[in-house]
């Protein structure tokens, strides 16, 4: 079981933040428990959202399946949060002040609708200090491979796009999210950016843009080990 471990970025004892590679497909919910169990976590504590590219963020207090949710936050150390991705950004967050942690699924639609800001604002309402929030921007499709039409490109500032030809643009969604975090007063030194491109790395990641409907999914996990 191969995965990338970001836990060291947070420097919080027993806090786990990681994302799987493509050696296993987690598109189907029935496969997720095995990944969690291999991390010595209890699959009964899993939180699994049905992601719809929304900007909906929910404060979670119990395990289970949640409909129409793309952002999860909690301060319940028993829970294991999860999201599934295959080009969209998996965003890991943790507040050292309130102990709230979270996972965000941010594709271009969620990014357009400010799911990242929604999450940070919700954490602020729960007492979090942005300067105490640490973030990991996980692997996703990079500007080198994220071709969009003009109508999508013009949703965002022109600073985030490069013109490929008259009707196609290359969009830098990671930079949009990074800037949104810093504009939310999260210090740049608290943000770790994984520069891996899911499209460019077929041996390591699934990519919806590259593989289409048959693409599998990586699973991102955030939670606490029991010891």
Over the chain (227 residues), the average pLDDT of each successive run of 10 is: 94 95 93 92 95 97 96 97 98 97 97 96 97 98 96 94 88 98 97 98 96 95 88
SS3 content of the chain, % helix, strand, coil (to 5): 30, 30, 40
* Angle, helices 173-183/115-125, rounded to nearest 10 degrees: 20
Q: What is the pLDDT of residue 165?
A: 79
Decide: pTM greater than 0.85.
Answer: yes
What does the pLDDT read at residue 164?
Answer: 83
Residue among 151, 164, 167 at smallest CA distance from 108: 151
pLDDT at 110: 96
Note the pLDDT of residue 25. Answer: 96
43 contacts 81 by C-beta, under 8 angstroms: no
The first and second tokens of residue 151, run together, are: 């109508």
46-50 and 64-67 beta bridge pairing: parallel
Cβ neighbour number for residue 68 with a 10 Å cutoff: 11
Query: Given this model, what pLDDT does residue 1 score?
Result: 84
């Amino acid at each position: 079981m191969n995965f990338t471990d970001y836990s060291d970025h947070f420097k919080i004892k027993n806090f786990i933040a990681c994302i799987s590679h493509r050696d296993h497909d987690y598109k189907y919910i029935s496969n997720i428990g095995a990944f969690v169990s291999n991390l010595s976590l209890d699959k009964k504590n899993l939180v699994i959202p049905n992601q719809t590219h929304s900007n909906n963020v929910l404060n979670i207090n119990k395990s289970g399946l949640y409909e129409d949710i793309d952002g999860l936050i909690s301060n319940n150390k028993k829970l294991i949060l999860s999201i599934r991705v295959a080009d969209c950004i998996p965003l890991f967050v943790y507040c050292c002040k309130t102990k709230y942690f979270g996972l965000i699924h941010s594709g271009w639609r969620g990014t357009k609708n400010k799911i990242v800001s929604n999450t940070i604002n919700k954490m602020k309402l729960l007492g979090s200090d942005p300067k105490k929030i640490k973030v990991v921007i996980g692997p996703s499709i990079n500007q080198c491979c994220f071709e969009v039409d003009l109508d999508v490109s013009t949703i965002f500032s022109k600073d985030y796009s490069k013109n490929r030809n008259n009707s196609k643009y290359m969009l830098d969604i990671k930079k949009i999210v990074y800037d949104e975090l810093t504009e939310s007063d999260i210090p740049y030194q608290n943000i770790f950016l994984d520069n891996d491109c899911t499209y460019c790395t077929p041996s390591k990641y699934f990519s919806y843009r590259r593989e289409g409907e048959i693409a599998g999914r990586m699973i991102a996990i955030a939670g606490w080990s029991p010891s």
